[in-house]
Structure 1
Amino acid sequence: MADSARSIAPMLAKSVEQVPDADAIAGGYSYEPKWDGFRGIVRVSGGEVEIGSRGSKPLTRYFPELVEAFARELPEGCVVDGEIVVRSGSAGDERLDWEALGQRIHPADSRVRRLAAETPASFVAFDLLELGDESLVDLPFRERRARLEEALGDAPPPVHVTRVTTDADLARTWLERFEGAGLDGVIAKPLEGAYLPNKRAMLKIKHKRTADVVLVGYRVHKSGTGVGSLLLGLYDDTGELRMVGGSSAFTDARRRELIDELEPLVVREDSGEVAGAETERSRFSSGKDTSFVPLRPERVLEVGYDQMEGWRFRHTVRFLRWRPDRDAESCRFEQLEVPAAYDLSAVLER
C-alpha cells in the first residue's frame, strides 16, 4: 500500500509574473490561493491511510491527527492532492505558521504525538485524482473539481477544500490580501487541463520584492571549491545585525571568483586563522555543517525575495547586484514591505 500511495507524482507549477486573464487560454483558468505548507498526496485504501510528499517521502507518521481525520472523513479508495498546514493565532487573527509546521518533522514518536496535540495540522484539498476504482487524472480540472466538492465538500475541519474562482480580478485581490494570512501567492489551473504528474502544467504567481542587505559571511560550496552561498543580514531597531537568510545559485566560475573577491573582508584570529562561526541550528540543519566564513559587515548587495517568515526571508533569495553606493548600517528591517494582517479563517471559507 505504501508504494502505491506514493506512485502519483504531484503536478507542478511554473512561475509567471502576473495573474493571467481568464481568456488567455482556451477553456479559461481556475484560480486558487497558493498555500504555504507541505504538499501531500493522500490515499485512503482498505482502511489504511498513506500521505506521500512531493519528494515521494512518506509523511504519514508525522501527522497522526490527520491520519485519524482522513480515515474518518475521506471516502474509501480516494487519492487527494492538497497541502498540509499549521494554523496559529486567536480567532479573527489566524495565519499560517511555517515554523510550527516544520517542527512537526521529528524522529521521536513521543514528540510527534505531543506536537500533534499542541500544534495540530490541517489539510487543504485542491484536487481529486482517484475515487473508488476510477482514475480521474485524465479528466479536465473542471470535472475533477466538481468531484472533489462532491466527495469532500461536507468534510469538517481539519479537512478543508480550497476556494476557487474563475474571476482573474478577484484572484489578483487574493494575491495581495491573503498574504497577510501567511499565504504566498495564487495558482492558475487550466479548466480543461488533465492532471499531469511531475509536469509544470499550472502557473504560480508570487510576490516579487527587493531589499538591500549586508553580506555577513559565506559557506564554501559542497564541492569544497568556491563560495556556495552568501549569508545575509539586516540591522534591527537596536542596531544589532541579524542573520536573515542566504543567496546561492552561482556558476562554478563565479564561485571561484568570489573566494578571491571576498578575501579582504574575511574575519581572522590574531593567529591568522579564519575566525570560527556557525549559524543557528534548526530541525533542518540537524547533522549538517553549519559553519561559515565570517566577513566584516561592509559590503551591501540587492536581492530579490518573495516574503518574510518572522524576521527571516522565507526562501533562498536571488542575488541581483552589488550596491557599493549603500552604507551597510543603512540596511534595516524598516525597508521591508509588511503586508496587512488578514484572518486565515476567512481564507478557508468558501
Structure 2
Amino acid sequence: MTHLLIGCPFSCTLGHEVLLWIHGATSSCCDMVASGLVQSLFSIVQDFCIFLEKEKYNRANIGLQQLYSTFFQELMNLKQLDEAENLRRKILHIMELSKTWSDLNKFDLGQTQNFNYFGMEGWDSFGTTMAAVQLSVTVVTLGKLRESEELLQRCLAVRKKILSEDHIQVASILVYLAKLSLLRIISDIKVNNDLCRSHLVRGKRLVNDSIRIAEKILNPLREDQKKPKNAFGIELERRIAATGILLEALEIVGLLDCLNMAIQEWAPAFDYENFEQAVRKWVSLYNEPRTRNIVSNALRAHYMKCWRTLVGGTRRTPYMNAPHIQDLLAESQQIMKELGGENNMTGSVDFGDAEE
C-alpha cells in the first residue's frame, strides 16, 4: 500500500507535480485492487481528493479522472457496485466545486467555435456533465432509474446551454434518456398501463430528436462542406460519432416497437412505419458514400448489431410478409452478407416465419 504514497505531492506547490503523481498512481491502482486492498486504496484516493479540493489544483482534474476511471473499472469487475457508486459521486462532487479545464480534443467544437470552455464553473461545464452521465449510468445498474433520469435531464439542459441544441453531445444525452424510457416501460409493464404508454410516447420523441440531430450532422448543407482540407480529420470524427449515435437510436426504435407490441392491449395499434423507416435509414448508411466506409469498418460490429436488433424482435409480425417489406429486408440481408454477417442469419428472406 505504501508504494502508492511515495512521492504523493500533498505538500507540493506545482500543479504539474500533481499530474505526474496521478500518472504513476494510476498504474499502481490495479495492483492494489488485485491484492485485496480496495478499502485502503479508496481511503488514499479520498484523501488525495480532499487535498485537491483544498488546494484547488484544477489542472489535475483530467488526470484525476483517469485515476478514478481505472479505480472504478476495477470496482465494477469485482462487483462492488456500492463503492463504485460512491466513487462516481465523489468525481461529480469535485467537478461541481472546481473549474473545469476541458480537454478540447475530447469532443467536437464544430458548432461552438467562439465559445470559451476554459474556466467554466461547476455544473456549467462539459466535464461536469460527463461525470454526471457516468454517475447516471452507474445508478441505473442499482435500479435507481428516477435519479438517473434527473441527472441526465440536468446534463441535457447544461449541454444545450453551453453547446447548442443540435450538438452531437446533446444527441448522446437524448439517446441515454430514450434508453431510460425503455427501462421504465419494462419496469412498469405489469404495474401501470398509463405510465407505460407515457414512457413509450416520450421514448419515441427522444429517439426521434436524436435521429434528427445525427442526420443533420451527416447531411450538412453545401455551405458547410466547403471547409479547409486540414479539417478532414475532425469532420471524419464527427461523422463517426454521429453514425454511432444514429445506430444506437435506430436500435432503440426497434426495441420500442417490440415493447409497443407487448403492450398493445392498452396502447395504440402497432405502427410498422417506424420499423420501415428505421430499416431504410439503416440501409442508406451503407449506400451513402459519406458513411459506407464508416459502417463497413470503424462501426461494422455496431452496424450489424443494429440490424439484428431491428429485425429480431419483429420477425413474427404479420406485416413482415408484405411485399415492400420483404424487398427492403432482402436488400438489408444482402448488405449483411457483404459485411460477413451471413453466418448469424437465417437462410431465407421470409422473416415472417423465420426461427431465431
TM-score w.r.t. length of structure 1: 0.25
Name the structure where helix makes up a greater proportion of residues. 2
Name the structure where strand makes up a greater proportion of residues. 1
